[in-house]
A = this chain, B = another copy of it.
Amino acid sequence: MSDAPGADDEAADRTPAETAQLALLLEVAGTPKPGNVDRRRDLGDLRFEHFLAGAVGAGEGLRMAAAGAPVGRAFERAVDGMARQRGGNTQFGCLLLLVPLVAARAAGDLSPAGVAAVVADTTVEDAADFYRAFEHVDVAVPDPGDEEIAALDVRRGADAIPAVREREVTLADVMELSAERDGNAREWAGGFERTFGAAEAMLADEGPAPDRVARAFLELLAEEPDSLVETRHGARTAEHVRERAAAVAGDLEAAETLAEDLAAEGINPGTTADVTAAATYVALERGLPV
């Protein structure tokens, strides 16, 4: 009987789509992740098992991304599969970050430049598929504010596609337009800077992967106001949450109290969880052991 294989180079033992699925699962397993569902906490009717089902359902879209399908189509398929559970939106934002990262990995360059190239190559059809993805699940997004771009409001779902086509807006353009108000769009527009930074921090960290996930989440939350919190509760609350995360200083025990508090307050730093999942993917591809 041989030793369990793969312990030396497990990144090479998984396909990019498998690695992305594992990142989704490790993200929700990491605890505490204050304000989010994790291994120890459900949030009312949004429960741990919905994230498990979401990760399973996303598989086909992730495999499409790895096989070179257009980013928009792969994303739309991943969201379609993810939504096949009763919890509602579990991993829309995670997948928005994971799909271009998987595409970059499949193209042989999982780096800020590699994913920026994937973003730059997106088309009007990718944008149309992105809007279609909003038909599968309710996603909390900021008000576009500007009347000029109200026609492109993602909350219009597929109804916005004629405007997307008419204005010849690529998916990269859509993200550029939202970058100011949305943390995930900011990653798209900025070479996934926080994602790659947090991945390196996870690799430099020690201990079981889910603990590294939790610490990465806390650092990201301490670093920048969460844009989902900002959308739902305003900039002041988002900044206050950031300060409270900074006070925890990456200590998982101290973070337990913050987790209890944010759950009680109904505050969900979901964008930070999305970036954490993306960082976990990059870290796994770069050798984070599981």
Interface residues of A (CB under 8 A from B): 1-2, 4-7, 10, 13-14, 18, 21-22, 25-26, 29, 39-40, 47-50, 52-53, 55-57, 59, 81, 83-86, 88, 134-138, 155, 157, 208-210, 289-290
Contacts and interface: CB of A to CB of B under 8 A. Distances in A.
Given A5-B136, A83-B6, A18 B59 contact: yes
A120 B256 CA distance: 53
A5 B178 CA distance: 27
A102 to B, nearest CB: 14
Contacts of A84: 5-6, 10, 13-14
Contact of A1 (B22, B55, B56, B155): B155
> Which residue of A7, A26, A86 has the most chain B CB atoms within 10 A of its CB atom?
A86
Nearest to A135: B2
Contact of A52 (B6, B22, B59, B86): B22
B14 A136 contact: no
Contacts of A4: 83, 85-86, 88, 136-138
Nearest to A12: B84
A197 B47 CA distance: 27
B56 A21 contact: yes
A289 B85 CA distance: 8
A49 B26 CA distance: 7
A9 to B, nearest CB: 10
Contacts of A47: 208
A208 B50 CA distance: 10
A26 B40 contact: no
A195 B78 CA distance: 31
Given A1-B138, A10-B85, A39-B39, 7 more contacts: A13-B57, A18-B57, A18-B59, A21-B56, A39-B40, A50-B290, A52-B290
A208 B6 contact: no
Contacts of A1: 134-135, 138, 155, 157
